[in-house]
Amino acid sequence: MKIVAEPLSVLRSRTSYKWQTYPADVLPLFVAEMDYPLAEPVQQAIIARVLASDTGYIAGPEPVAQAFAGYAGRTWGWQVDPGDIRTTTDVSVAIVECLRQTVPVDGSVVITPPVYPPFYELPPEAEATVVEVPLLLTGTGWRLDLPALERAFARGADAMLLCNPHNPLGLVHSAETLRALADLSAKYGVAVISDEIHAPLTYDSEAFTPYLSVSEAAREFGICVTAASKAWNIAGTKCAVMVGSSDRTRLQLDSMPEEVSARTSILGLHASVAAYDDGGPWLAGVLDSLATNRELLAELLSAHLPEVIYRPPAAGYLAWLDFRGLGWGGDPAAIALEQGQVALEPGLKFGRHGTGFARLNFACSPEVLTEAVTRLAAVQARPAVGPLEP
């Protein structure tokens, strides 16, 4: 059964970043928060801990380790040893702490733009530099540029941040591609930190392949970082998991300061356990709603803004939109906001390859999505002398 997005009157009472950043006349379709009510098992897990005054420090990762291992096995056939799992506050912190263990000071980290904007910031936080190896856009869609990655690895890269599924494209890397990447990783001794936070939001569950499941080479040098936060909309509860399945990566996880684990929220831990153990029906309903919106967006753009190029994502609720055909300049999100009162995530945040693009969050009601595209179409329809200016 579909999960229905809450009405704007309720959503505007939320105090999260999505709903407090812009005035009430702006439709906020930028940051990756969903407009659906929380899954009841997650709600009840948090309420139960609060009613028990159980809001101290976590005793250890065991509850969520068991829950995640069970979910991974049921969903992807990935057999994870719960003993290989550690926790921390969120995926960004997990990435930084993994880089600190795998990359020397002044080392280098490969990223594949256009990519989640913090990927530009997290390596410097770990005292490393960023090396860009852009994704390739082919006639059949986006993919990793394996020859270019090999060149970067051969030049001495120490690690790679893999986004799987890839934000903002919703690209689900194939098992074949991941095996090839793992072979390169092993050949050159490059650590791969695989951010798999969007994995539960894959529309065809059989299409997603966990990186550590593809080969011994992947397990030798790879670490998975993920969380229930994106799929179950609980980013504010603060709990992420890190998986290392080789002697090398277990040692790296165990070499982290004790505080890395201690920063995990006890409410986030129990919310995540509830999500992985009992949140499946809710997630199925959300995916049903998202699938409808994914197609609705295609229909709306085709009818009202056919110049905008949109490739429906294979995972997630983020649409990467190419506005270059409209003549809105390098930052179409600025025009969408200032002239259409629709807040999109600027493509420029995802690297220089995002020039002329913007990311739209369609985890909202069909009515809000329709209104957003209607507003953007109205901007384009206005008489203008010369190109539109933000």
Same domain, 234 and 322: no
CATH number where 64 lies = 3.40.640.10
How much is the pLDDT for 140?
Answer: 84
Same domain, 56 and 77: yes
The span from the CA of 270 to the CA of 54, in Å, is 10
Say if CB 32 and CB 231 are below 8 A apart.
Answer: no
Say if CB 88 and CB 110 are below 8 A apart.
Answer: no
Pick the closest to residue 204 from 112, 341, 312 (CA basis): 312
One-letter amino acid for residue 383 of the chain: P
Same domain, 61 and 82: yes
Same domain, 320 and 256: no
Pick the closest to residue 45 from 258, 237, 251, 302 (CA basis): 237
Residue 170 in any domain: the answer is: yes
Same domain, 82 and 116: yes
- Which residue's structure tokens are 């990519």? 115
Angle at CA 160, nearest 5°, toward 154 and 165?
A: 135
The span from the CA of 210 to the CA of 294, in Å, is 24
pTM for the full predicted model: 0.96
Say if CB 86 and CB 138 are below 8 A apart.
Answer: no
Q: Report pLDDT digits (tens) over 105-121.
A: 999 999 999 999 999 99
Dig out the tokens for 54 from the structure: 């159980």
How much is the pLDDT for 361?
Answer: 98
Angle of the 280-304 helix axis to the 366-381 helix axis, nearest 10: 20
CATH number where 287 lies = 3.90.1150.10
**Distances 235 to 5, 227, 269 between C-alpha atoms, Å:** 18, 9, 12
Say if CB 128 and CB 103 are below 8 A apart.
Answer: yes
Task: Write out residues in the chain with pLDDT < 70, as ranges.
Answer: 383-390
At a CB cut-off of 8 Å and minimum separation 6, what does 290 contact? Answer: 201, 203, 317, 362, 363
Query: Whole-angstrom distance between the N-terminal and C-terminal Cα of the chain?
Result: 41
Residue 57 in any domain: the answer is: yes
The span from the CA of 72 to the CA of 159, in Å, is 25
Same domain, 142 and 270: yes
Q: Which of 327-339 are b and which e, b meaning 16 or more Cβ less than 10 Å from the residue's Cβ?
A: ebbbbbbbbbbeb
The span from the CA of 374 to the CA of 378, in Å, is 6
Alpha helices in 21-90 (DSSP H): 40-51, 62-76
Give the domain-ending residue among 278, 311, 334. 278
Same domain, 311 and 164: no
Dig out the tokens for 46 from the structure: 């948090």
Same domain, 356 and 219: no
Residue 389 in any domain: the answer is: no
3-state SS, 234-303, equals: CHHHCCEEEEECCHHHHHHHHCCCHHHHHCCEHHHHHHHHHHHHHCHHHHHHHHHHHHHHHHHHHHHHHH
The span from the CA of 174 to the CA of 226, in Å, is 18
Give the domain-ending residue among 278, 305, 335. 278
Same domain, 160 and 274: yes
Same domain, 253 and 324: no
Dig out the tokens for 327 from the structure: 């003549």
Q: Which long-range contacts (CB under 8 A, 24 or more apart) does 354-358 make?
A: 354/113, 354/114, 355/330, 356/322, 356/323, 356/324, 356/328, 356/329, 356/330, 356/332, 357/114, 357/320, 357/321, 357/322, 357/323, 357/324, 357/332, 358/321, 358/323, 358/332, 358/333
Residue 99 in any domain: the answer is: yes
Domain span at 31: 8-38+280-380
Domain count, the chain: 2
Dig out the tokens for 90 from the structure: 């969120």
How much is the pLDDT for 382?
Answer: 84
Same domain, 166 and 315: no
Q: 224 by DSSP, 3-state: which?
A: strand
Say if CB 349 and CB 280 are below 8 A apart.
Answer: no
Q: Report pLDDT digits (tens) over 278-300.
A: 999 999 999 999 999 999 999 99
Beta bridge partners of 242: 86, 225
